[in-house]
Amino acid sequence: MEADTVKLAPSILAADFARLGEQVAEAEQAGADRIHIDVMDGHFVPRLSMGAPIVQSLRRVTRLRLEIHMMILNPDSFLEEFVEAGSDSFLVHWEGNNNLHRTVRRIKELGKYAGVAVNPATPAAVLEEMLPELDQVLVMTVNPGFGHQQFLHSTLPKIERVRQMVERLDGCCEVGVDGGINQETARLASAAGAGVLVAGSSIFGDNLGVATAMGGLRASIARHKSNLLA
């Protein structure tokens, strides 16, 4: 994907929660496309993280799309609560959901964007029938549940495969990646076909600040592109 078309989705899991509003505002000013909110229930993944009250608070400080990554059992039971809090978009996992089609339909009925996330061990092929219904596929580039993990390079061919599947359907939906994204892996993932990069620690954990970190990610993708053209 071209540097200027790659979208950045800062994940607040790595933010300083004492300064959350400020950091999200900084990300918005620096051109973030959306804010990624990781919801964990201690069952689907080992950790607990945050719930709808955070969405409600953030709704007051940003106009950006609030994207909810549901790492929870029974996401259907929580959709309405998150919609009422101000969520715009949901990423639900293929894993552990026996009725994924129903979940996606429900999200659409609520008038929100629907995406499906796939873990590193899950093949791209499971997405085939669902793709025409989706707004986004999220290829997990780490095993979900924790920030600050190392990008799994074995997911790169899957990003390419998902991109090809999406192109066969005339670019039906976005291809996102989540986990271990830094300047180096942003370049690799976007070259493989990712158009949305979720990044937590490399944006909110950068000592030079959110805007500089986002600029660094964009620059590394752009450098790659200009090297290819040279």
Residue whose C-alpha is closest to residue 3's, from 206, 217, 185, 210: 217
CA 50, CA 132: separation in Å to the nearest integer?
30
In the set 33, 38, 41, 206, the catalytic residue is 38
What is the edge-to-edge ordering of all strands in the sheet holding 65-71? 7-10, 196-199, 174-178, 136-140, 113-118, 89-93, 65-71, 34-40
- Taking residues 39 to 68 in sequence order and writing x for each that binds Zn ion by CB under 5 A, - otherwise, the string is ------------------------------
Is 33 catalytic? The answer is no
Write out the binding residues for ligand DX5, residues 57-116 only, by CB under 6 A.
Answer: 69
Is 178 catalytic? The answer is yes
First CA to last CA across the chain, in angstroms?
17
In the set 33, 41, 88, 178, the catalytic residue is 178
State the residue for tokens 């106009």: 63
Whole-number minimum distance, CB 37 to ligand DX5, in Å? 9
CA 103, CA 80: separation in Å to the nearest integer?
12
SS (H, E, C) 1-48: CCHHHCEEEEEHHHCCHHHHHHHHHHHHHCCCCEEEEEEEECCCCCCE
Q: Is 178 near ligand DX5 (CB under 6 A)?
A: yes
Which of 69, 158, 187, 225 binds Zn ion (CB under 5 A)? It is 69
Q: Is 178 near Zn ion (CB under 5 A)?
A: yes
Whole-number minimum distance, CB 203 to ligand DX5, in Å? 8
Q: Is 28 near Zn ion (CB under 5 A)?
A: no
Q: Is 198 near ligand DX5 (CB under 6 A)?
A: yes
Residues that bind Zn ion (CB under 5 A): 38, 69, 178
Residues that bind ligand DX5 (CB under 6 A): 11, 13-14, 36, 38, 69, 142, 144-149, 178-181, 198-202
- What are the residue numbers of the active site? 38, 178
